[in-house]
A and B are shown apart, each in its own frame.
Chain A
Amino acid sequence: MILIRLFLSFLQIGLFSIGGGYAAIPLIQEQTVTLNGWLTAEQFMNLATIAEMTPGPIAINGATFVGLKVAGFPGAVAATFGCILPSLVIVSILSLIYRRYRSLPMLQSVLGSLRPAVIALIAAAGINMLLQVAFGGRENISLTEIHWVGAALFTVSFLIMRKFHFNPIVVMAMCGVAGLLLGMIGIPL
Protein backbone atom coordinates (compact mmCIF):
# COMPACT_ATOMS: atom_id res chain seq x y z
CA MET A 1 0.00 0.00 0.00
CA ILE A 2 1.26 3.39 -1.04
CA LEU A 3 0.92 5.09 2.37
CA ILE A 4 3.06 2.40 3.97
CA ARG A 5 5.63 2.66 1.16
CA LEU A 6 5.80 6.43 1.70
CA PHE A 7 6.06 5.99 5.45
CA LEU A 8 8.88 3.43 5.16
CA SER A 9 10.81 5.45 2.57
CA PHE A 10 10.77 8.59 4.67
CA LEU A 11 11.48 6.56 7.80
CA GLN A 12 14.76 5.61 6.15
CA ILE A 13 15.41 9.22 5.19
CA GLY A 14 14.79 10.31 8.79
CA LEU A 15 16.90 7.50 10.17
CA PHE A 16 19.93 7.98 7.96
CA SER A 17 20.13 11.73 7.39
CA ILE A 18 22.69 12.73 9.98
CA GLY A 19 23.84 16.33 10.14
CA GLY A 20 20.84 18.28 8.97
CA GLY A 21 19.21 19.43 5.78
CA TYR A 22 21.91 19.03 3.18
CA ALA A 23 22.59 15.50 4.35
CA ALA A 24 18.96 14.61 3.63
CA ILE A 25 19.16 15.69 -0.01
CA PRO A 26 21.04 12.66 -1.39
CA LEU A 27 18.76 10.33 0.61
CA ILE A 28 15.59 12.01 -0.65
CA GLN A 29 16.97 11.86 -4.17
CA GLU A 30 17.69 8.15 -3.88
CA GLN A 31 14.32 7.23 -2.36
CA THR A 32 12.10 9.40 -4.54
CA VAL A 33 13.90 9.42 -7.89
CA THR A 34 16.10 6.32 -8.10
CA LEU A 35 14.28 3.69 -6.06
CA ASN A 36 10.57 4.56 -6.29
CA GLY A 37 10.32 6.83 -9.33
CA TRP A 38 7.92 9.18 -7.56
CA LEU A 39 9.72 12.20 -9.02
CA THR A 40 11.68 12.82 -12.22
CA ALA A 41 15.18 14.32 -11.92
CA GLU A 42 13.73 17.65 -13.00
CA GLN A 43 10.91 17.52 -10.42
CA PHE A 44 13.45 16.65 -7.75
CA MET A 45 15.45 19.72 -8.77
CA ASN A 46 12.29 21.81 -8.33
CA LEU A 47 11.64 20.21 -4.95
CA ALA A 48 15.18 21.04 -3.79
CA THR A 49 14.66 24.60 -4.99
CA ILE A 50 11.31 24.99 -3.22
CA ALA A 51 12.59 23.34 -0.04
CA GLU A 52 15.55 25.67 -0.03
CA MET A 53 13.50 28.85 -0.38
CA THR A 54 10.81 28.00 2.19
CA PRO A 55 11.30 27.80 5.95
CA GLY A 56 11.53 24.50 7.79
CA PRO A 57 13.67 21.37 7.56
CA ILE A 58 14.37 20.17 4.01
CA ALA A 59 13.41 16.58 4.88
CA ILE A 60 9.97 17.65 6.12
CA ASN A 61 9.44 19.92 3.11
CA GLY A 62 10.41 16.97 0.92
CA ALA A 63 8.13 14.57 2.79
CA THR A 64 5.15 16.90 2.43
CA PHE A 65 5.82 17.63 -1.25
CA VAL A 66 6.33 14.01 -2.28
CA GLY A 67 3.54 12.69 -0.02
CA LEU A 68 1.02 15.13 -1.46
CA LYS A 69 2.06 14.35 -5.01
CA VAL A 70 1.90 10.57 -4.58
CA ALA A 71 -1.09 10.12 -2.25
CA GLY A 72 -2.67 13.46 -1.33
CA PHE A 73 -2.82 14.85 2.19
CA PRO A 74 -2.77 11.42 3.94
CA GLY A 75 0.43 10.76 1.98
CA ALA A 76 1.95 14.00 3.28
CA VAL A 77 1.08 13.03 6.86
CA ALA A 78 2.43 9.47 6.45
CA ALA A 79 5.70 10.68 4.92
CA THR A 80 6.20 13.46 7.46
CA PHE A 81 5.48 11.15 10.38
CA GLY A 82 7.90 8.56 8.96
CA CYS A 83 10.52 11.25 8.63
CA ILE A 84 10.35 12.41 12.27
CA LEU A 85 9.66 9.07 13.99
CA PRO A 86 13.34 8.04 14.21
CA SER A 87 14.15 11.44 15.74
CA LEU A 88 11.36 11.11 18.28
CA VAL A 89 12.67 7.76 19.48
CA ILE A 90 16.44 8.20 19.17
CA VAL A 91 16.76 11.82 20.32
CA SER A 92 14.41 11.20 23.25
CA ILE A 93 16.59 8.31 24.39
CA LEU A 94 19.81 10.27 23.82
CA SER A 95 18.34 13.25 25.64
CA LEU A 96 17.59 11.02 28.62
CA ILE A 97 21.11 9.58 28.53
CA TYR A 98 22.57 13.06 28.17
CA ARG A 99 20.73 14.38 31.17
CA ARG A 100 21.88 11.39 33.18
CA TYR A 101 25.53 11.24 32.07
CA ARG A 102 26.15 14.57 30.29
CA SER A 103 29.05 13.31 28.16
CA LEU A 104 29.19 10.59 25.52
CA PRO A 105 32.78 10.32 24.21
CA MET A 106 32.24 7.01 22.42
CA LEU A 107 29.09 8.15 20.65
CA GLN A 108 30.68 11.49 19.80
CA SER A 109 33.65 9.81 18.12
CA VAL A 110 31.47 7.40 16.14
CA LEU A 111 29.22 10.18 14.92
CA GLY A 112 32.25 12.41 14.31
CA SER A 113 33.62 9.96 11.78
CA LEU A 114 30.33 9.97 9.89
CA ARG A 115 30.92 13.59 8.93
CA PRO A 116 33.43 12.95 6.09
CA ALA A 117 31.05 10.46 4.48
CA VAL A 118 28.21 12.97 4.77
CA ILE A 119 30.35 15.68 3.13
CA ALA A 120 31.10 13.33 0.23
CA LEU A 121 27.39 12.53 -0.18
CA ILE A 122 26.48 16.22 -0.23
CA ALA A 123 29.22 16.92 -2.79
CA ALA A 124 27.97 14.11 -5.03
CA ALA A 125 24.38 15.39 -4.80
CA GLY A 126 25.59 18.88 -5.70
CA ILE A 127 27.55 17.59 -8.68
CA ASN A 128 24.53 15.63 -9.91
CA MET A 129 22.47 18.81 -9.71
CA LEU A 130 25.17 20.73 -11.55
CA LEU A 131 25.19 18.09 -14.30
CA GLN A 132 21.40 18.43 -14.46
CA VAL A 133 21.51 22.20 -15.05
CA ALA A 134 24.61 22.14 -17.27
CA PHE A 135 23.87 19.09 -19.43
CA GLY A 136 20.31 18.03 -18.65
CA GLY A 137 21.56 14.97 -16.73
CA ARG A 138 24.68 12.86 -16.26
CA GLU A 139 23.87 10.67 -19.25
CA ASN A 140 24.34 13.61 -21.64
CA ILE A 141 27.81 14.83 -20.75
CA SER A 142 29.42 16.15 -23.92
CA LEU A 143 30.49 19.51 -25.29
CA THR A 144 27.66 19.54 -27.81
CA GLU A 145 25.01 19.02 -25.12
CA ILE A 146 26.22 21.73 -22.75
CA HIS A 147 23.67 24.36 -21.68
CA TRP A 148 25.99 27.35 -21.64
CA VAL A 149 23.61 29.77 -19.94
CA GLY A 150 22.85 27.40 -17.06
CA ALA A 151 26.53 26.56 -16.65
CA ALA A 152 27.42 30.26 -16.61
CA LEU A 153 24.71 31.10 -14.07
CA PHE A 154 25.94 28.27 -11.85
CA THR A 155 29.56 29.43 -12.13
CA VAL A 156 28.73 33.03 -11.24
CA SER A 157 26.56 31.95 -8.27
CA PHE A 158 29.21 29.55 -7.02
CA LEU A 159 31.95 32.19 -7.19
CA ILE A 160 29.73 34.73 -5.41
CA MET A 161 28.99 32.20 -2.65
CA ARG A 162 32.66 31.26 -2.24
CA LYS A 163 34.01 34.81 -2.32
CA PHE A 164 31.40 36.98 -0.64
CA HIS A 165 29.43 34.45 1.45
CA PHE A 166 26.12 35.87 0.29
CA ASN A 167 22.95 34.63 1.96
CA PRO A 168 21.91 31.52 -0.07
CA ILE A 169 18.33 32.80 -0.34
CA VAL A 170 19.59 36.02 -1.96
CA VAL A 171 21.73 34.10 -4.45
CA MET A 172 18.80 31.85 -5.37
CA ALA A 173 16.44 34.79 -5.75
CA MET A 174 18.95 36.52 -8.05
CA CYS A 175 19.25 33.31 -10.10
CA GLY A 176 15.46 33.14 -10.38
CA VAL A 177 15.28 36.73 -11.62
CA ALA A 178 18.17 36.08 -14.03
CA GLY A 179 16.40 32.97 -15.38
CA LEU A 180 13.19 34.94 -15.86
CA LEU A 181 14.88 37.94 -17.53
CA LEU A 182 16.98 35.73 -19.83
CA GLY A 183 13.89 33.73 -20.73
CA MET A 184 11.95 36.89 -21.55
CA ILE A 185 14.60 38.17 -23.96
CA GLY A 186 14.60 34.76 -25.63
CA ILE A 187 17.60 33.04 -24.04
CA PRO A 188 16.12 30.02 -22.25
CA LEU A 189 18.23 28.14 -19.75
Chain B
Amino acid sequence: MELSSAKKKLTLFFSMLYISAFTFGGGFVIVTFMKRRFVDELHWLDEQEMLDMTALAQSAPGPIAVNAAIQVGWKVGGLTGMLAAVLGTVIPPVAILTVISLFYQAFEANPVVAMTLRGMSCGVAAVILDVAVSMGEKLVRAKNGIHLAVMAAAFIATFFLRINVIWIILCAGLIGFVSALLERKGMEKT
Protein backbone atom coordinates (compact mmCIF):
# COMPACT_ATOMS: atom_id res chain seq x y z
CA MET B 1 0.00 0.00 0.00
CA GLU B 2 1.78 3.14 -1.23
CA LEU B 3 0.61 6.49 0.05
CA SER B 4 0.74 9.48 -2.26
CA SER B 5 3.78 11.70 -1.71
CA ALA B 6 1.92 14.64 -0.16
CA LYS B 7 -0.12 12.40 2.09
CA LYS B 8 3.02 10.58 3.17
CA LYS B 9 4.66 13.86 4.21
CA LEU B 10 1.54 14.85 6.13
CA THR B 11 1.59 11.50 7.93
CA LEU B 12 5.27 12.06 8.68
CA PHE B 13 4.57 15.53 10.09
CA PHE B 14 1.73 14.38 12.34
CA SER B 15 3.64 11.29 13.48
CA MET B 16 6.57 13.42 14.62
CA LEU B 17 4.23 15.99 16.18
CA TYR B 18 2.54 13.27 18.20
CA ILE B 19 5.74 11.50 19.20
CA SER B 20 7.46 14.75 20.18
CA ALA B 21 4.48 15.96 22.23
CA PHE B 22 4.14 12.80 24.28
CA THR B 23 7.62 11.42 24.83
CA PHE B 24 9.26 12.47 28.03
CA GLY B 25 12.82 11.66 28.91
CA GLY B 26 15.09 12.68 26.08
CA GLY B 27 16.51 11.45 22.81
CA PHE B 28 16.75 7.74 23.38
CA VAL B 29 13.12 7.44 24.38
CA ILE B 30 11.95 9.34 21.31
CA VAL B 31 14.05 7.15 19.01
CA THR B 32 12.33 4.06 20.46
CA PHE B 33 8.94 5.56 19.67
CA MET B 34 10.08 6.48 16.16
CA LYS B 35 11.16 2.91 15.58
CA ARG B 36 7.75 1.64 16.66
CA ARG B 37 5.98 4.07 14.31
CA PHE B 38 8.18 4.09 11.19
CA VAL B 39 9.55 0.54 11.25
CA ASP B 40 6.81 -1.56 12.88
CA GLU B 41 3.64 0.31 11.90
CA LEU B 42 4.33 2.16 8.66
CA HIS B 43 7.16 -0.05 7.30
CA TRP B 44 8.94 2.99 5.86
CA LEU B 45 12.34 1.89 7.18
CA ASP B 46 13.90 -1.43 8.10
CA GLU B 47 15.28 -2.05 11.54
CA GLN B 48 18.95 -1.88 10.51
CA GLU B 49 18.39 1.53 8.93
CA MET B 50 16.74 2.80 12.09
CA LEU B 51 19.69 1.57 14.19
CA ASP B 52 22.19 3.30 11.91
CA MET B 53 20.14 6.48 12.00
CA THR B 54 20.10 6.31 15.79
CA ALA B 55 23.87 5.93 15.98
CA LEU B 56 24.36 8.86 13.64
CA ALA B 57 21.78 10.97 15.47
CA GLN B 58 23.60 10.27 18.69
CA SER B 59 27.10 11.04 17.47
CA ALA B 60 26.26 14.13 15.39
CA PRO B 61 25.87 17.51 17.08
CA GLY B 62 22.42 18.70 18.11
CA PRO B 63 19.35 17.19 19.75
CA ILE B 64 19.01 13.44 19.07
CA ALA B 65 15.29 13.71 18.26
CA VAL B 66 15.88 16.45 15.67
CA ASN B 67 18.80 14.55 14.16
CA ALA B 68 16.72 11.38 13.82
CA ALA B 69 13.79 13.34 12.34
CA ILE B 70 16.08 14.91 9.71
CA GLN B 71 17.25 11.49 8.51
CA VAL B 72 13.80 9.88 8.44
CA GLY B 73 12.47 12.99 6.67
CA TRP B 74 15.10 12.87 3.90
CA LYS B 75 14.54 9.16 3.41
CA VAL B 76 10.73 9.40 3.29
CA GLY B 77 10.18 12.64 1.42
CA GLY B 78 13.36 14.46 0.39
CA LEU B 79 13.84 18.11 1.36
CA THR B 80 10.17 18.85 2.09
CA GLY B 81 9.88 15.58 4.00
CA MET B 82 12.87 16.61 6.10
CA LEU B 83 11.36 20.04 6.83
CA ALA B 84 8.00 18.45 7.70
CA ALA B 85 9.63 16.02 10.14
CA VAL B 86 11.74 18.74 11.81
CA LEU B 87 8.77 21.10 12.18
CA GLY B 88 6.73 18.30 13.69
CA THR B 89 9.52 17.62 16.18
CA VAL B 90 10.12 21.23 17.16
CA ILE B 91 6.58 22.65 17.43
CA PRO B 92 5.47 20.76 20.57
CA PRO B 93 8.39 21.73 22.84
CA VAL B 94 8.29 25.36 21.65
CA ALA B 95 4.53 25.57 22.25
CA ILE B 96 4.67 23.85 25.64
CA LEU B 97 7.61 25.91 26.87
CA THR B 98 5.92 29.13 25.70
CA VAL B 99 2.88 28.32 27.81
CA ILE B 100 5.01 27.31 30.79
CA SER B 101 7.11 30.46 30.52
CA LEU B 102 4.02 32.65 30.77
CA PHE B 103 2.96 30.59 33.76
CA TYR B 104 6.49 30.67 35.17
CA GLN B 105 6.83 34.44 35.04
CA ALA B 106 3.45 34.85 36.74
CA PHE B 107 4.12 32.27 39.44
CA GLU B 108 7.87 32.57 39.98
CA ALA B 109 7.12 34.36 43.25
CA ASN B 110 4.36 31.95 44.27
CA PRO B 111 5.62 30.08 47.38
CA VAL B 112 3.89 26.79 46.51
CA VAL B 113 5.49 26.72 43.05
CA ALA B 114 8.83 27.78 44.52
CA MET B 115 8.76 24.99 47.12
CA THR B 116 7.85 22.38 44.52
CA LEU B 117 10.55 23.57 42.11
CA ARG B 118 13.18 23.57 44.86
CA GLY B 119 12.27 20.01 45.75
CA MET B 120 12.43 18.99 42.12
CA SER B 121 15.84 20.67 41.72
CA CYS B 122 17.27 18.10 44.11
CA GLY B 123 15.77 15.39 41.90
CA VAL B 124 17.27 16.90 38.74
CA ALA B 125 20.74 16.98 40.26
CA ALA B 126 20.28 13.32 41.23
CA VAL B 127 19.05 12.34 37.75
CA ILE B 128 21.95 14.07 36.01
CA LEU B 129 24.58 12.61 38.32
CA ASP B 130 22.97 9.18 37.94
CA VAL B 131 23.33 9.45 34.15
CA ALA B 132 26.96 10.55 34.50
CA VAL B 133 27.80 7.74 36.92
CA SER B 134 26.13 5.08 34.73
CA MET B 135 28.00 6.21 31.62
CA GLY B 136 31.24 6.69 33.54
CA GLU B 137 30.99 3.13 34.93
CA LYS B 138 30.66 1.68 31.42
CA LEU B 139 33.68 3.68 30.30
CA VAL B 140 35.77 2.53 33.26
CA ARG B 141 34.81 -1.10 32.56
CA ALA B 142 35.89 -0.74 28.92
CA LYS B 143 39.41 0.05 30.24
CA ASN B 144 40.48 2.20 27.31
CA GLY B 145 43.43 4.22 28.65
CA ILE B 146 43.04 7.13 26.24
CA HIS B 147 39.33 7.45 26.96
CA LEU B 148 39.89 7.40 30.72
CA ALA B 149 42.59 10.06 30.42
CA VAL B 150 40.31 12.22 28.26
CA MET B 151 37.52 11.88 30.83
CA ALA B 152 39.77 12.86 33.76
CA ALA B 153 41.34 15.76 31.88
CA ALA B 154 37.97 17.05 30.68
CA PHE B 155 36.59 16.97 34.22
CA ILE B 156 39.53 18.94 35.63
CA ALA B 157 39.37 21.41 32.74
CA THR B 158 35.67 22.15 33.14
CA PHE B 159 35.13 21.88 36.89
CA PHE B 160 38.31 23.34 38.35
CA LEU B 161 39.85 25.39 35.55
CA ARG B 162 36.49 26.48 34.07
CA ILE B 163 37.78 26.25 30.52
CA ASN B 164 35.17 26.92 27.84
CA VAL B 165 33.25 23.71 27.12
CA ILE B 166 33.67 24.13 23.37
CA TRP B 167 37.49 23.97 23.61
CA ILE B 168 37.21 20.80 25.67
CA ILE B 169 35.02 19.12 23.04
CA LEU B 170 37.29 20.26 20.20
CA CYS B 171 40.38 18.92 22.01
CA ALA B 172 38.71 15.58 22.69
CA GLY B 173 37.70 15.32 19.02
CA LEU B 174 41.25 16.12 17.94
CA ILE B 175 42.63 13.41 20.24
CA GLY B 176 40.16 10.94 18.70
CA PHE B 177 41.16 11.99 15.19
CA VAL B 178 44.88 11.60 15.87
CA SER B 179 44.49 8.24 17.58
CA ALA B 180 42.34 6.98 14.66
CA LEU B 181 45.07 8.09 12.24
CA LEU B 182 47.77 6.32 14.27
CA GLU B 183 45.64 3.17 14.43
CA ARG B 184 45.15 3.19 10.69
CA LYS B 185 48.91 3.62 10.17
CA GLY B 186 49.57 0.71 12.52
CA MET B 187 47.15 -1.44 10.57
CA GLU B 188 48.79 -0.60 7.26
CA LYS B 189 52.20 -1.72 8.59
CA THR B 190 51.01 -5.19 9.61
Contact = CB atoms under 8 A, between A and B. Distances in A.
A46 B117 contact: yes
B124 A94 contact: no
Interface residues of B, number: 92
Nearest to B133: A162
A168 B134 CA distance: 14
B62 A14 contact: yes
Given A21-B27, A179-B117, A61 B93 contact: yes
Interface stretch (B5-13, B34-42, B175-183): B175-183
Nearest to A22: B131
B101 interface: yes
A57 B62 CA distance: 9
Contact of A68 (B98, B126, B159): B98
Contacts of A180: 112, 115-116, 119
Contact of A20 (B63, B104, B111, B128): B63
Nearest to A27: B165
Nearest to A189: B118
Interface of B: 20-28, 52-53, 55-67, 70-71, 74-75, 82, 86, 89-90, 92-94, 96-98, 100-101, 104-105, 111-112, 115-133, 135-136, 139, 146-148, 150-155, 158-159, 164-166, 168-169, 171-173, 175-177, 179-180, 183-184
